[in-house]
Amino acid sequence: MQSFSVKGNIVDIDNQQIFYGLVTVANGKIVTLTTVNTDTKIGADYILPGFIDSHVQIESSMLVPSKFAKLAVVHGTVGTISDPHEIANVVGLPGVPCSFVTLTCYIFY
Ligand SMILES: [Zn+2]
C-alpha cells in the first residue's frame, strides 16, 4: 500500500492544542506524527480526527449507503450511527437491511 506524508496544523484533541506538524502514513495507518513548530499555525490546512455522525437517517439523503459515504467523507465524516426508522416506516422490516447493504439491495420507491 502507498505511503505518504502531509503537513498541516494538527488538532490534538486530547491535549487541547494545535501545532504545525507532519503526519506520515504507511499501509493505511499513521506511523509518525512529528511536531514542526509548537507555536505557529501556518496556512489554512488542518489535520484532525474524522467525525462520527452520531445520529443519521441515510435514507433521508435518497442515496444508497455507498454514495452517501463518498459524499460525507470529503467533509470529514468517517463513520455514522445510522437509524433506519424512516425506511422501516415506509417499507417495514424488509427495508431495514437495505440501510446497511450497498448497491445490491436498493428498494427505494
Ligand atoms: Zn432518528
> From ligand 1's centre to the CA of 59, what distance in Å?
11
Model-level pTM? 0.62
Per-residue pLDDT band for 10 (boundaries 50, 70, 90) equals very high
Per-residue pLDDT band for 34 (boundaries 50, 70, 90) equals very high
> From ligand 1's centre to the CA of 64, what distance in Å?
17
17-29 pLDDT tens trace: 999 999 999 998 9
The 3-state secondary structure of the chain, one letter per residue: CCCEEEEEEEEECCCCEEEEEEEEEECCEEEEEEEEECCCCCCCCEECCCEEEEEECHHHHCCCHHHHHHHHHCCCEEEEEECCHHHHHHHCHHHHHHHCCCCCCCCCC
Q: Which of 13-17, 36-40, 90-94 has the lowest mean pLDDT?
A: 36-40
> From ligand 1's centre to the CA of 84, what distance in Å?
7
**14 vs 62: CA distance, rounded Å:** 36
Residue type, 30: I
CB under 5 Å of ion ligand 1: residues: 83
> From ligand 1's centre to the CA of 86, what distance in Å?
8
pLDDT at 60: 86
> From ligand 1's centre to the CA of 101, what distance in Å?
18
> From ligand 1's centre to the CA of 56, what distance in Å?
6
